[in-house]
């Protein structure tokens, strides 16, 4: 399968913006943390770190500062009419597989800060295609169930920041945890959730995040999550997170209480809610070097007489930077039955996509990446990965009966190996150009022994950003 996409973006900006999901420069927000040794919050996307001024080209720093998310690190104080930004994205794509498919779409993003501390942000997208796949440059959850035009609200929310406190209400993208290539508890794999979110940072070493979100309003399903970031020393960040997905006739005030642990509430006061714990850590042993780990506890079987399996996921990674080049490696493993549950209504899903890692259960993946801006205005990245997918899925539920050892990964394992090269060009002024090309090889496709496939993809994106 081969595909080529042509995308044009025309925009107007007053002041800063944020790096949208999938933007070619989004990974440099994370790289800047390693390069500077400055610890960023464990929720993101975060703002560019100030200590990288001597490591990156001035042009790249200017781009990142303009695109980095104001709400994560504090918005710039402004006066008068405030700041306004609007972006128009138009995409046309053709793909040749067994037949020629065509896709086209438009996206409009707006940002407004009428007074210091108050921000409003929204993005609307509409697209159409012959095969119901979204065009390049559009988020993957735009995929529909039938042919036709699709209008989608990607995100839209208002936030108010005062000192170390921030409250936000609306449809908000979220990424929790230190993982570079995937996040285990909350990620951008699913559409952004409609939520009330609170930040509170009473001290530089302590930060609290809490949210209450609607997962499926038709079935009265909700997600509550809270996280505590602790920085005991300047070279380490610890994160403690908990989430619970539940169905209720009304909002559950016990779960909306952000300062109590929810697991004992679920165990003693309710039944069959899907609770998860997550612990992560990031260390900076030296400037230019970082390492991280994340442990997701979906179910830990301390009552072994029932013979049920543990349900865990974990990630370990490291990054080394030299000048304007970053080398990143990461491994993730997710046990079978993670994100699943006895009751289908409590599967850890939002609009059919896992709220946590898109890898899903019964899977592991090793990823290596190299990114460099040494040849600025060229920015080049190369990523290669290998994954193993067992036959388990989030939809198989979690049985109560005694289980045998399925092995990991289970059943006929699908092996997938891929590589992607990305090149971005920033010639100066308002213009940018981005190109990608990649290959993926799969063995035991769809868990059928001996079935193989190879797939090639490519894209070309032309961008213009006009400042006012």
Q: How far apart are CA 95 and CA 131, in angstroms?
A: 10
| Confidence (pLDDT) at 452 | 95
Q: How many CA atoms lie within 13 A of 222 on its CB side?
A: 18
Mean pLDDT lowest among 62-66, 115-119, 257-261, 407-411: 62-66
**Is residue 187's pLDDT more than 60?**
yes
Mean pLDDT lowest among 22-36, 44-58, 371-385: 44-58
* Among 167, 168, 177, residue whose Cα is nearest residue 277: 177
> Can you give the pTM of this predicted structure?
0.88
Distances (CA, A) of 80 to 13, 25, 71, 83, 116: 16, 31, 20, 9, 10
Q: How far apart are CA 263 and CA 267, in angstroms?
A: 6
Percentage of the residues of the chain whose pLDDT score is greater than 70:
78
Asked if residue 450 lies in contact with residue 444, where contact means CB atoms within 8 angstroms, the answer is yes
Which of 296 and 436 is assigned the larger pLDDT?
296
Q: What is the DSSP string of 414-435?
A: EEEEEEEEEEEEEEETTEEEEE
Distances (CA, A) of 328 to 270, 372, 416: 43, 11, 20
DSSP for residue 31: H
What proportions of the chain, in percent to the nearest 5, are helix, strand and coil? 10, 50, 35
Which of 378 and 71 is assigned the larger pLDDT?
378
Q: For residue 291, what are the contacts with CB-CB under 8 A and spacing of at least 6? A: 282, 283, 285, 316, 317, 318, 319
* Among 46, 41, 86, residue whose Cα is nearest residue 227: 41
Could you tell me the two tokens for 97?
A: 């597989």
Mean pLDDT lowest among 83-97, 171-185, 324-338, 377-391: 83-97
Phi and psi torsions of 49, nearest 5°: -80, 140
Could you tell me the two tokens for 382?
A: 């190369």
pLDDT, tens digit, 9 for 90 and up, residues 211-253: 999 998 677 899 999 999 999 998 999 999 999 998 887 778 8
Beta bridge partners of 87: 11, 109
* Among 26, 113, 15, residue whose Cα is nearest residue 64: 26
Out of 3.30.2270.10, 2.30.30.30, 2.30.42.10, 2.40.160.130, which CATH number does the structure's domain 2-467 have? Answer: 2.40.160.130
Q: How far apart are CA 251 and CA 95, in angstroms?
A: 45
Could you tell me the two tokens for 20?
A: 């949208």
Domain-wise residue ranges, the chain:
2-467
């Amino acid at each position: 399968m081969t595909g080529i996409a042509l995308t044009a973006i025309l925009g107007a900006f007053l002041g800063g913006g944020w790096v949208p999901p999938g933007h070619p420069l989004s990974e440099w927000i994370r790289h800047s943390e390693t390069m500077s040794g400055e610890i960023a919050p464990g929720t993101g996307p975060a703002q560019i770190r100030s200590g990288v001024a001597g490591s990156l080209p001035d042009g790249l720093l200017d781009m990142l500062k303009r695109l980095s998310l104001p709400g994560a690190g504090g918005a710039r104080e402004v006066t008068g009419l405030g700041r306004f930004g609007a972006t128009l994205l138009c995409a046309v794509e053709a793909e040749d597989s067994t037949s020629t498919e065509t896709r086209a779409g438009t996206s409009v993003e707006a940002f407004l800060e009428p007074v210091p501390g108050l921000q409003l942000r929204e993005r609307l997208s509409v697209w159409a295609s012959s095969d119901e796949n979204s065009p390049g440059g559009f988020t993957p959850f735009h995929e529909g169930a039938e042919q036709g035009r699709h209008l989608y609200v990607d995100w839209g929310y208002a936030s108010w920041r005062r000192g170390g406190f921030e409250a936000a209400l609306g449809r908000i993208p979220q990424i929790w945890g230190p993982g570079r290539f995937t996040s285990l508890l909350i990620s951008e794999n699913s559409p952004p959730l409609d939520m009330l979110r609170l930040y509170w940072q009473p001290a530089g070493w302590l930060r609290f995040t809490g949210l209450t979100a609607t997962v499926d309003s038709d079935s009265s399903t909700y997600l509550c999550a809270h996280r505590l970031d602790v920085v005991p020393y300047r070279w380490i960040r610890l994160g403690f997170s908990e989430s619970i997905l539940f169905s209720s006739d009304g909002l559950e005030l016990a779960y909306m209480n952000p300062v109590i642990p929810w697991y004992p509430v679920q165990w003693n006061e309710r039944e069959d809610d899907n609770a998860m714990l997550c612990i992560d850590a990031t260390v900076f042993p030296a400037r230019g070097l970082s390492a991280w780990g994340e442990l997701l506890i979906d179910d830990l079987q301390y009552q072994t007489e029932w013979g049920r399996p543990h349900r865990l996921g974990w990630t370990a990674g490291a990054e080394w930077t030299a000048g304007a080049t970053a080398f990143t490696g990461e491994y993730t493993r997710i046990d079978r039955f993670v994100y699943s549950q006895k009751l289908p209504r409590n599967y850890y899903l939002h609009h059919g996509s896992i709220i946590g890692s898109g890898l899903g259960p019964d899977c592991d993946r090793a990823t290596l990446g190299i990114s460099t801006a040494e040849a600025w205005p060229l920015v080049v990245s190369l990523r290669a990965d290998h994954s193993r997918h067992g036959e388990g899925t989030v939809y198989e539920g979690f049985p109560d009966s005694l289980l045998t050892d399925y092995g990991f990964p289970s059943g006929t394992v699908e092996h997938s190996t891929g590589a992607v090269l990305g090149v971005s060009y920033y010639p100066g002024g308002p213009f940018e150009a981005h190109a990608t090309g990649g290959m993926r090889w799969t063995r035991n496709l769809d868990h059928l022994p001996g079935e193989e496939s190879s797939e090639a993809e490519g894209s070309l994106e032309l961008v213009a950003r006009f400042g006012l």
